[in-house]
Chain A
Amino acid sequence: MDPFDPRNLNPNSYNFHLGESLLVRVDEKWSRTRIDDTGFILKPGQVYLAATLERIGSDRFVTLLLGRSSLGRLGLFLNITADLGHIGSCSHWTLELTVVQTLRIYPRMPIGQISFWRTAETDAKHYRGRYHRDDAPKPNRDARIVSPSR
């Protein structure tokens, strides 16, 4: 966890923060923008890619990403069904932000929580995949998703 501040510890998770960079869909392309201190307004029906301010990962524990109840109560989703991290992955985690109602977000705000889970065995292979070491919000990079050969 980098940076790490013990004040962000919860009973069984750690509060991470929102980075400043945001990818917004404009004319069917991702456009990069900065969230300035006055905030950025998220609208329903649109996916925004952001990243965690912290670099998060572990070679020993499985990371599971969670929202904060305070922001869930304001209708903010942090990911789309993909909340389970890989052992060995270490990156500024890309967040898939969607909202139920229009919501303003701010840079560096505490936005979610990360929890760490022990595995049943210790023989896991470390993740070294395409999103390893990400340092900014990254769109999908797996073009094989729709390949008929899979």
Chain B
Amino acid sequence: MILTGPQIASAVERGDIVIRPFRKRQITPNSYDFRLGDRCCVYTNRVLDPAKNNPTRRFQIPSDGILLKPNRLYLFNTEESMGSTHYVPIIRGRSSTGRLGLFIDITADLIDLGFANQLTLQLHC
């Protein structure tokens, strides 16, 4: 089962879903359009290793944007804090950005029940 846009809006009103800030115009027929935050993080080591700490460089994206390059991972926050203790959120890219070759997550699209915060997006193109 999946919630419709109006059901998402009433769940936000009831407090069963957290979306902050919440803007009604971002509701779609069966999802909610979230926005890209402005904080980015990239790895500085050539080889990444899950057994070690991987140093990163952090920066803010300027208002005129940044250019993403292939074979490079960019971690971003979402502008919204999102989550729910009632429903399991699942994130999706937008078809418009998919058509431009942008991945926003890497196999990890299902959010744990009870998480409610800004999400970390794994951008690459």
Given contact pairs A11-B114, A67-B106, A67-B107, A104 touches B122 in the complex (Cβ within 8 A): no
Interface size of B by CB at 8 A reads 25
Q: Specify which chain A residues have a CB less than 8 angstroms from the CB of B114 in the assembled complex.
A: 11
The answer to whether the Cβ of B46 comes within 8 Å of any Cβ in the partner chain is yes
Q: By CB atoms of chain B within 10 A, which of A64, A74, A79, A115 has the most? A: A74
Please determine whether B47 and A41 come into contact, CB atoms closer than 8 angstroms: yes
Q: Specify which chain B residues have a CB less than 8 angstroms from the CB of A45 in the assembled complex.
A: 71
Q: Specify which chain B residues have a CB less than 8 angstroms from the CB of A69 in the assembled complex.
A: 108, 120
The answer to whether the Cβ of B109 comes within 8 Å of any Cβ in the partner chain is yes
B107 touches which of A39, A41, A112, A115 (Cβ 8 Å) = A112
Contact with A along B91-125 (1 / 0, CB 8 A): 00000000000000111111011100000101010
Q: Specify which chain A residues have a CB less than 8 angstroms from the CB of B49 in the assembled complex.
A: 39, 103-104
Please determine whether B73 and A109 come into contact, CB atoms closer than 8 angstroms: no
Min distance, Cβ A25 to any Cβ of chain B, angstroms: 18
Contact with B along A1-20 (1 / 0, CB 8 A): 00000000011110000000
The answer to whether the Cβ of A108 comes within 8 Å of any Cβ in the partner chain is no
Please determine whether B107 and A101 come into contact, CB atoms closer than 8 angstroms: no
The answer to whether the Cβ of A105 comes within 8 Å of any Cβ in the partner chain is yes
Min distance, Cβ B86 to any Cβ of chain A, angstroms: 12
Please determine whether A72 and B105 come into contact, CB atoms closer than 8 angstroms: yes
How far apart are the CA atoms of A79 and B110 in the complex, in Å?
15
How far apart are the CA atoms of A72 and B88 in the complex, in Å?
19
How far apart are the CA atoms of A112 and B88 in the complex, in Å?
17
Residues of A within 8 A of B (CB): 10-13, 39, 41, 44-45, 64-79, 83, 100-106, 109, 112-113, 115
Sample 11 A-B pairs with CB under 8 A, ordered by A number: A10-B112, A64-B110, A67-B108, A74-B43, A100-B73, A101-B46, A101-B48, A102-B46, A103-B47, A113-B110, A115-B110
Residues of B within 8 A of A (CB): 43, 46-51, 54, 71-73, 75, 88, 105-110, 112-114, 120, 122, 124
Please provide the 4 A-B residue pairs with the shortest distance between their CB atoms, ordered closest to farther.
Answer: A67-B107, A72-B108, A72-B106, A11-B113
Known: A11-B114, A72-B107, A100-B73. 18 other contacts (CB 8 A): A11-B112, A12-B110, A64-B110, A66-B109, A67-B106, A67-B107, A68-B108, A69-B120, A71-B50, A71-B108, A72-B122, A73-B75, A73-B122, A76-B106, A100-B106, A101-B72, A104-B48, A106-B50
